[in-house]
Each structure stands twice: as structure tokens, then as C-alpha cells.
Amino acid sequence: MPHPDGQDPLTPVHRLTSVAAVVDRIITAIAVRDFNPGQRLPAQRELAVLLGVSRPTLRAALVELADAGYVETRRGRTGGTWVRAGDGERTSAAVARTLLPAWGELEESFDLRRLVEATIARTAAERHDADDDEQLRRCLAAYERAGGEDEASRTTDADLHRAVCAAAHNSQLQELSRQLLARVNLGMPREPFARADYDRALPQHRELVAAILASDAERAAAVAREHFAITEDRVRAALDV
């Protein structure tokens, strides 16, 4: 539904307008573990779209980040921009400049996401069918096998949550879930991830799937409300609020 002032209420809460703002945003993304040390950033074309900036602006920001020791550029078959450090001397100030101006809206978005994801989980428990059950079991097993490895765990986590959304049998709920992930993560449509997050999420994933398979709608909703605080907690920890 359009917003009364004509703006989409689910667009990113912080628009980047300068190289300095892009530098701060990428440092923040590294600090909250959208991107982990040793990981390759998305291709410049993709990253520019995610951040809503021009490629020349992004390239200038990446040069500054390389000079500051946050990333490095590699050539050849493994070419691209790779994260070097999780924290640096500029991290605290960059995170504050990125998050504090939007903090009130972010807190409301965190709350909205927990409410929506609880609704999705409850609805999945009420509407799931045999095909959904098979997919949920398959995705949970894949997450368990990932064992906390960065990208495998992040990918299988996303697959599991897509399976829960699919079991709700409402495409608009699925789209709202996707939009809210980007909303709480300032435009990045990916969950922050660290090994501690995997260890925390694993028993919750098991309990969520079990509740849906058992058609326990209230339990599924309660687990989802707890589970979707993980990303919020990681963002809060980066800002130390």
C-alpha cells in the first residue's frame, strides 16, 4: 500500500550521498558481520545497486577502504574486493554516523520484523502441507551440516527461512519478509552472521521447524519472535546500545 506522502515506507532508512557515507556504510556492514573477514564483497555492479550509489562513487570508497586496511583488491581468477579486517580505528565512529541518525526508525523496524515473522511462523504452522514439511526438514538438515561455516551457514539459514515463508502460502508475506530484512540492515538483503549466531540459531531453528510440523501455531510464533532478535542484537552490539 502506498505511503500517504508518496514514499515507500520500506525503502532503506539511510540514503548514501557521498564517498564518505559509502565508506561508513561498508565499514558498518563489516562491523555487524554482513561481510566477514576473509570474505569477498559482491561485485561492484551489485554492491552499487545494493547501496544505491554510482559505480564511480563506490570505486572511490573502495580505494579509501583499502588505504585504511579494511579491504584489499585481488587480481586474477580469485579477483575482487576482499574484507581484510573486522574492526579498525575508524569503525566506532563510522558505525555511529551510520546508525545513530536512523536509530529511532530502526528500533521500530526491529519490532515490526519480529511481529511479521511471528505471523509468518504462526501461519506456516496452520497451513503447511506435506511438501512444505519435506522442504523444512531438508533445509534444517542442510543448516545443521553447515556447522557454522560462514557462507554455507548464511545460505542455508536463508533457505530455511524461505521455506518457512513458503509454508505460509502467502506471497505478499514472503515479499514483506524480504523487504524487512533489508530495512533492518540498511539496505543489505542478508542476515549478519558470526559463529556465535549459528550456535544461537541452531536450537531455535530446530524448535521452529518442530513447532510448524506439529501445527503448534502459538509455539512457532513465540520461537520466531525470539529468533528474529539475533540480527537486532548484532546491530545493537556494533553500536553498543
pLDDT score of 79: 83
Q: Tell me: pLDDT of 12 over 50.
A: no
What letters, b where the CB count within 10 A reaches 16 and e where it falls short, cover 216-229? Answer: bbebbbbbbbebbb
The position carrying cell 542442510 is 142
pLDDT tens-digit readout, 115-157: 999 999 999 999 999 999 999 999 999 999 999 888 899 999 9
Query: For 13, which DSSP code?
Result: S
More confident residue, 235 or 76: 235
- 165 CB neighbour count, 10 Å cutoff: 22
pLDDT-derived band at 17, boundaries 50, 70, 90: low
pLDDT score of 16: 60
Please name the fold of domain 19-99.
Arc Repressor Mutant, subunit A (1.10.10)
User: Residues 221-236: what's their mean pLDDT?
Assistant: 94
pLDDT score of 208: 98
Question: Could you tell me the residue ranges of all domains in the chain?
Answer: 19-99, 102-239
User: Residues 103-114: what's their mean pLDDT?
Assistant: 94
Equal fold, 19-99 vs 102-239: no
User: Residues 2-22: what's their mean pLDDT?
Assistant: 57
pLDDT score of 15: 53
pLDDT tens-digit readout, 210-227: 999 999 999 999 999 999
pLDDT tens-digit readout, 65-91: 999 999 999 888 778 999 997 678 899
pLDDT score of 186: 81
pLDDT score of 239: 84
| Distance from the Cα of residue 70 to its chain's centroid | 20
Q: Tell me: pLDDT of 48 over 80.
A: yes
Cα 59 from Cα 19, distance rounded (Å): 9
pLDDT tens-digit readout, 169-210: 999 999 999 999 988 988 888 888 888 899 999 999 999 999
Please name the fold of domain 102-239.
Four Helix Bundle (Hemerythrin (Met), subunit A) (1.20.120)
